Structure 1
Amino acid sequence: MPAALPTRHVASRLRDRAIDLVGLMTTPLLPADYLDLVSPLRAGADLRGRIVAVHPETRDAVTLVIRPGRGWAGHVPGQYIRIGLDVDGVRQWRAYSLTSPVDRPDGCIAITVKAIPEGVVSTHVVRRARVGMLVHLDQACGEFVLPDPRPEKVLFVTAGSGVTPVMGMLRNALDDLGDLVVVHSAPTAADVIFGGELRMLAARGHITLVERHTDADGMLDADALAGLVGDLDERETWACGPAGMLDALERRWAERGISERLHTERFRPTVMATGDGGTVTFTTSEVAVEAGGATSLLDAGESAGVLMPSGCRMGICFGCVAPLREGAVRDLRNGDLTTASPDSGPGRPVLVQTCVSAAAGPCEIEL
């Protein structure tokens, strides 16, 4: 007579059979799909979060407070997170810096989003995000963080929404930073994201705050920054903002031989090489568009109304990868050329990152 199975094994088998039976009864939906409706933030589910608060920051920026699911692994101040949400029936992914303390008593996280012109996701978030909405999440990542031990003299240089990762650092590491200068640039005083909090920190002596309002003072560049911060070369510097500002800062630090003291965070990749451009044909959508050599395939497709997968838009997450069926594209970061021909065969597609690749002549993308 065979030995009896342990009770826990019997229970496990019965549970598995029950789930299989429910799966047959609910096809094409699976039991997990119904669990997602009842408990979308449960352990074991795809990582999601629920918006629990929406706080206006400026006329075009809001902070979303999100309660993440049980799979959330935490973050280091200065890191960013990718969020996915459905906009007009299409799942869109974007990356936003985390601005919340790492040890919030309620376990929530926060991101701050500024609407940008023609920004499909940022505008949707700022205008239409509501308490109770579910968003998809990835784990935090990014290297724009403070070292341990902390530097003695620190400078934060930010512009626009570039202040968001820095605010994450300030809210978590302020007590560890002694001599701290924050230089922030925005069109007007009313456009300074976290303006009230930054000014309060300055009034209490926690930071030295320098605001530059570009509508009156002009753009912040390396020469202007040197005039605002007398001991610029002595400070370990973290900078985040528009590409032009960061390019200028990197050139100055390089010229003075102190590049290792400058840490930058970019919301779009640095364009280092361009080609001649060409006609980009999106074969599935049956759309063709002329694109310049500095225009990413992602931007070209979106401008033509093609549904383009995307994520960080920085060439990091590989959420925008698509098959190149024919032609050539150039990597905007380093000039590398990738080609494909019909000989590649349907079983061996040449995959390219559309957010950091541009047409180098006529090309066909399977989207």
Structure 2
Amino acid sequence: MAHDHTDRYFPEVPMTAPTISRLFSRGITRTLLTPHPVEHYVRSLGVNWSDDPTGATVVAVDRPVADVTVITLRLPAGVDRPAPGAALEIGVVVDGVVQRRHYSPVDPATRSDGLATIAVRRHPGGVVSEYLWSEAAPGMRLLLGNPVGEVTLPESRPTDVLLVSGGSGITPMLSIASTLVGEGHCGDGATGRVAWLHYARRVEDVPFRDRIRELSRAGVEVRVVATSDPDPTAPSDPVSGDLVGHLTADHLDDVAPWHSDATVFLCGPDGLADGLADTLGADRYAEVLRERFTASTGPVPEGDGGTVTHVRSGVSAHNPGTTLLEGAEAAGLSPKHGCRMGICHTCTAVRVSGATRDLRTGEVDTEPGCLVQICVSAPVGDVEIEL
């Protein structure tokens, strides 16, 4: 049986010798079946594990703007930092339940001190972001999962790079831009060019403005664009320039008149993506490398559904026309998952046989042995899935 991000810890009990013996014998099967090392569970009993190979330690916390928590983590020995643009899976325990979210480190790939910096923006009702806003402090231990990401900087660096981001999309782009600068990709004497358009409601709401200014001085043509009327009392910012409002062709021409030949990276809300698509045109936009905040999904068409056999658990249940994840949960299973939006790939499982519909595109696929994201896939007829 697989476990998801709502795995519950054991209740706190006195750590006597008989208790440890009972926990050991009782927990062997759980340890074999859970994706998390046993030290995570034992640590909840009050035992500190200094050799935990999967946890990250908070070494510094800053809250530079009203709704952002900047956290510097020490990664475990032997854990590689994500490729520029990718995200770390961070887990916290809230009310006895493990909650996981993904955050992109802002650091360049050249950072070699074992530290990684993430920025967590508070969201209304956001369990993890609110918890880290109020509780994050040096010494805190966080669970750490595998890096994920739809878009990362390729090992063979493009000559010309245009970055377009909005809101929280600043973090993967900051890592990509910092990596390129650290490698001498742009600036005096370099053959490459890097430009960056970042959109925010107000310039003063943007974290890491000092780092952005450093990138500007190092050769990145960068603009921070306010989408609302600027505050006349706010100090001027050299990287904001004269650009205001939402993305236009003029914005692209201002920051990167050579953008027609550039590799374009995009991370931001759907409105920004729609604006870039309208500006570039369908053919050019199809080449854009995009990291999504959310995944737009449609409803399950009437008539879809079927009997879903969960091969590993041996449970078969009728799915009346919901996602495979929701169907499995209704059948009493707890598949591992993260975002529930088709972004993080945490819930990916093998479809052994049958057909499933991708609710983001509406496409039906029947290839046996195919990996599917069960949070955005629904059965079309009877399906066998490795859960």
Measure the CA separation in 1 of the matches of 2:348 and 2:284: 37
The CA deviation string for residues 149-197 of structure 1, in whole angstroms up to 9 with x for no partner, is 4333221111111010011122222122342221111111111121222
In the alignment, which residue of structure 1 is the partner of 2:260? 233
In the alignment, which residue of structure 2 is the partner of 1:311? 338
Q: CA deviation at 1:93?
A: 1.0
Looking at secondary structure, tell me which structure has more helix per residue: 1
Q: 1:71 to 1:40 in 2, by over 3 A?
A: farther
Structure 2: where are the runs of 5+ without partners? 1-19, 32-37, 188-192, 230-242, 303-320, 327-333, 350-355, 366-370, 381-387
In the alignment, which residue of structure 1 is the partner of 2:108? 101
Aligned partners of 2:186 and 2:220 also within 8 Å: no
In the alignment, which residue of structure 1 is the partner of 2:185? 176
**Higher relative contact order by CA 8 Å / sep ≥ 6: 1 or 2?**
2
Q: 1:131 to 1:296 in 2, by over 3 A?
A: farther
Structure ID, larger Rg: 1
Alignment match of 1:129 (pick from 128, 136, 147) = 136
Q: CA deviation at 1:200?
A: 3.5
Measure the CA separation in 1 of the matches of 2:325 and 2:94: 17
Q: CA deviation at 1:354?
A: 6.3
Alignment match of 1:198 (pick from 200, 212, 220) = 212
Q: Secondary structure at the match of 2:212?
A: helix
Q: 1:298 to 1:253 in 2, by over 3 A?
A: farther
Measure the CA separation in 2 of the matches of 1:145 and 1:156: 12
Q: Secondary structure at the match of 2:228?
A: helix
Measure the CA separation in 1 of the matches of 2:335 and 2:148: 23
Q: 1:39 to 1:107 in 2, by over 3 A?
A: farther
1:164 aligns with 2:164: no
In the alignment, which residue of structure 1 is the partner of 2:56? 49
The CA deviation string for residues 193-227 of structure 1, in whole angstroms up to 9 with x for no partner, is 2122212432x252222121111176523445345
Which 4+ stretches in 1 moved above 6 angstroms? 295-299
Measure the CA separation in 2 of the matches of 1:213 and 1:334: 33
In the alignment, which residue of structure 1 is the partner of 2:75? 68
In the alignment, which residue of structure 1 is the partner of 2:8? none
Equivalent position amino acid for 1:356 in 2: V
TM-score scaled by length of structure 1: 0.67
Aligned partners of 1:241 and 1:265 also within 8 Å: yes
Structure 1: where are the runs of 5+ without partners? 1-21, 278-292, 300-306, 323-328, 339-350, 361-367
Alignment match of 2:294 (pick from 268, 282, 287) = 268
Equivalent position amino acid for 1:166 in 2: M
Aligned partners of 1:82 and 1:140 also within 8 Å: yes
In the alignment, which residue of structure 1 is the partner of 2:307? none
Measure the CA separation in 2 of the matches of 1:296 and 1:252: 35
Equivalent position amino acid for 2:113 in 1: D
Q: 1:254 to 1:314 in 2, by over 3 A?
A: farther
In the alignment, which residue of structure 1 is the partner of 2:376? 356
Bigger mean CA deviation after superposition, 351-360 or 207-216: 351-360
Measure the CA separation in 2 of the matches of 1:219 and 1:298: 40
Equivalent position amino acid for 1:335 in 2: G
Measure the CA separation in 1 of the matches of 2:109 and 2:78: 15
CA RMSD, Structure 1 to Structure 2 (Å)? 4.4
Alignment match of 1:189 (pick from 199, 203, 209) = 203
In the alignment, which residue of structure 2 is the partner of 1:153? 160
Query: Percent identity, aligned pairs only?
Result: 32
In the alignment, which residue of structure 2 is the partner of 1:259? 286
